[in-house]
Chain A
Amino acid sequence: MKEFAAICGVSPATVSYALRNDSRISEPVRERIQSKAREVNYRPDSSNSALVRYRKQIHTDVQRPSVAIAYAHPPASRRTKLFQVHVNRFRQSIQQYGYDLKEYYIGNQADGGAKLLHQMRVNDTQGLVLAWGQWEQKLNEFPWQEFAVASAERNQIHPAIDRVSVNHFNATEVAIQALEVRGARRIGLVCHHDLPLRVKKNIVGAYIQHIYKKEGHSPPAPPYFYKIGAPTQPFEKWRTKHQLDAILAHRQIDFSFFNEQGLRFPQDSQYAVIEIDDNNAHEESGVVIDAGLGDALAEVIAAKLHYGERVDLQRQGDLILINGQWREGITTHPPEKSSTEIASL
């Protein structure tokens, strides 16, 4: 009851009264608590008398309601691994609303979608989160309108599904401004060659428009596309040709790539990253997402379940964007300008 009271945002006593339909609680609040109890399938434990309170450690087998997360790729794939930090946060966050998390890997099984659907029905799971990945036709026939769904994948899986994503446009602007107050004059943009088109457009668009906005700008250096395992030489040629004094990468790149040509940060060039997933044990300066994405996914799904909202196929889904925070690493210089000057920028 304590847990359930937390879910409702009221005290356990209020819950107790409301479920007994006691008139001490106002009618709207009573109704709200009762409907919430139906939604999460909460029933006061009748055996929970003083006598059995000693045996609290013995759990009844009442299943907590669950929310599902589906992955397009196996656990060891790069996209799934990158997404783990956000899943962990999402799990923590959705548990506070009273839901357990169940994970499903669709992979390349032809009937992956049907299996997911079957499992969700058997467990009476009504909320679904879609992880990062290339979904293509994998969930083509899925009956979205029966579920509350949020997608973390920025590309559309179905046009009616709400998406929760990092605000790449904003993160790019934040990182460029941070590099500039640290003295950068010519910033070059590095993207992984396989980044999704929508993300690429946001990053490249924010980069080019920032340069065009400046008085007397010279043309922007064309973005460099990095491939894991490729040699460093072409990159070094690009950097010298465009006389870059700062590098802005979309995602973290293994330092050995830069070390191969003896490039040191921040001595030879400043370096910042647009999208860093977690705040642990990394040295790069850049924009960190951390808890934002997992929390937002949990808030969206929990609210949809609370209000009984399902995917409305007649409507276009919304895009919910999460802003990151600049983190000072060891790859940039300290700011040149005072904080008041920065504030006036």
Chain B
Amino acid sequence: MKQRVSQKQIAEACQVSVATVSYALRNSRHISVSTREQIQKVAHELGYRPDPSLSSLAAKKRRSGQTPFYASVGVLHPNPKSSRATQLFNIHSRHFKEKMEDLGCSVSEFQVDSNRYRPERLAQILRTRGIRGILLGWGQWPDSIRSFPWHEFAVISTERTDLGYAIDKVSMNHFHALDSIFDRLDAFPESRYGLILHDDCPAKTESHIMGAYHANLYERKNLESDIPPYRYKLNEGPTRLRAWYQAHKPDVIISHRAIEASLFQDAGITFPAPTRLVIIEIDEATDLEFSGIYTEATLGQTTAQLLARKMRTHEMKRESNRAELTLVNGIWHDGVSLGS
């Protein structure tokens, strides 16, 4: 391996001290613009690359030392801790909390299940605790929550929750996920792509997935477009899936979320041959290493950044009646189900 170019070498080449180089590469105002640019130019020519692990460590240290306390935020969970929705949301709320603290905000979690609090009471508790920002967790919300004074707080929700207000939302970018899946599939000879959607998929998500599916078929005239999507019901047996598979003979299956591998097996579908399988969105532990797009830490982190931003907007007392949708790209993972 080539030896790393050090700051010392740059200092010698520029005839300045190592400290000057260090300041200049950090673009510090301690050094004049012209010297800075000269040193940066030499560093570039020598092929200097900062050690990424060192500089990210330093940045983190700098941040945690300097970030003043900014605000308190709350995560509201509509269902008990043990519910499937709250458990699924756990991974996101963990990353959310880490990033929020990084930004100087403390995070408290609230279980608001089974009408434990009347909305006015809940608002009062949040006010008393100085909470200015709210993240809505996953699950079923009681109807009474509609009378909660949302306008008093900065509120962010992830797409599964739709309380019908002008609340900003964060979601995985399903459209982009389909785009990158189609790009990857271009390397394979198959041409019959079948879609599987869970029947509890939110309507907006479904339109995005179907829209991206059709847009990509439109751009690729060589692909077949006569396969209707299959709607999977949680915990169903293999009969309907087998019938769909035999009627339409897809040679590639694109599934929105992961399904137990055994269900495919029982329906007579094996991958990667003769059928390839790729998953659009994976955020839970699965029994098999699927090929597809994992949301990992990104959803929680982006949600934190957005809530911080919204609190800032709120603080400026700016009217913001429009709800924004922020889309997060996942990370591609080569599992076993696509084949090579």
Contacts and interface: CB of A to CB of B under 8 A. Distances in A.
Nearest to A213: B210
B298 A316 contact: yes
Contacts of B219: 201
B237 to A, nearest CB: 28
Contacts of A202: 175, 211, 215
Question: Chain A interface mostly helix, strand, loop or mixed?
Answer: helix
A306 interface: yes
B328 interface: yes
B207 A201 contact: no
Interface string B29-56: 1000100110000001000000010001
Contacts of A309: 305
A321 B168 CA distance: 10
Contact of A318 (B68, B218, B327): B327
A303 B218 contact: no
B215 A205 contact: yes
Interface stretch (B186-194, B261-269, B312-320): B312-320
Interface string A206-220: 101100110000000
Contacts of A143: 27
Interface in A302-321: 302-304, 306-309, 314-316, 318-321
Interface in B117-166: none
Interface in A151-201: 167, 169-170, 173, 200-201
A204 B69 contact: no
Nearest to A121: B33
Contacts of A212: 210, 214
B175 A303 contact: no
A253 interface: no
Given A124-B29, A201-B212, A316-B298, A208 B325 contact: no
Interface in B63-99: 63, 66, 68-70
Question: Chain B interface mostly helix, strand, loop or mixed?
Answer: helix
Q: Which of A205, A209, A292 has the most CB of B within 10 A?
A: A205
Nearest to B204: A170
A141 B309 CA distance: 28
B214 A32 contact: no
Contacts of A34: 68
Contacts of B242: none
A318 B326 CA distance: 7
A208 B302 contact: no
A335 interface: no
Nearest to A303: B309
B279 interface: no
B113 interface: no
Given A209-B207, A209-B210, A97 B316 contact: yes
A139 B213 CA distance: 33
B322 interface: yes
Contacts of A31: 68-69
Given A201-B212, A321-B327, A323-B325, A32 B70 contact: yes
A319 B312 contact: no
Q: Which of B66, B104, B212, B324 has the most CB of A within 10 A?
A: B324
Interface in A288-345: 292, 295-296, 299-300, 302-304, 306-309, 314-316, 318-323
B322 A323 contact: yes
Contacts of A316: 298, 328-329, 331
Contact of B216 (A9, A146, A201, A315): A201
A204 B328 contact: no
B309 A205 contact: no
B327 A208 contact: no
A322 B215 contact: no
Nearest to B36: A121
Contacts of B309: 299-300, 303-304
Given A146-B27, A292-B322, A296-B324, 17 more contacts: A8-B315, A31-B68, A35-B68, A97-B316, A121-B27, A200-B215, A204-B215, A208-B214, A209-B211, A303-B313, A307-B312, A314-B52, A314-B56, A316-B331, A319-B327, A321-B326, A323-B324
Q: Which 6 A-B residue pairings sit nearest by Cβ, starting from the closest?
A: A205-B215, A205-B211, A9-B315, A303-B309, A31-B68, A208-B214
19 contacts: A34-B68, A118-B37, A143-B27, A202-B175, A202-B215, A204-B215, A205-B218, A208-B211, A209-B213, A213-B210, A296-B324, A304-B309, A314-B52, A318-B305, A318-B326, A318-B327, A319-B173, A320-B326, A321-B325
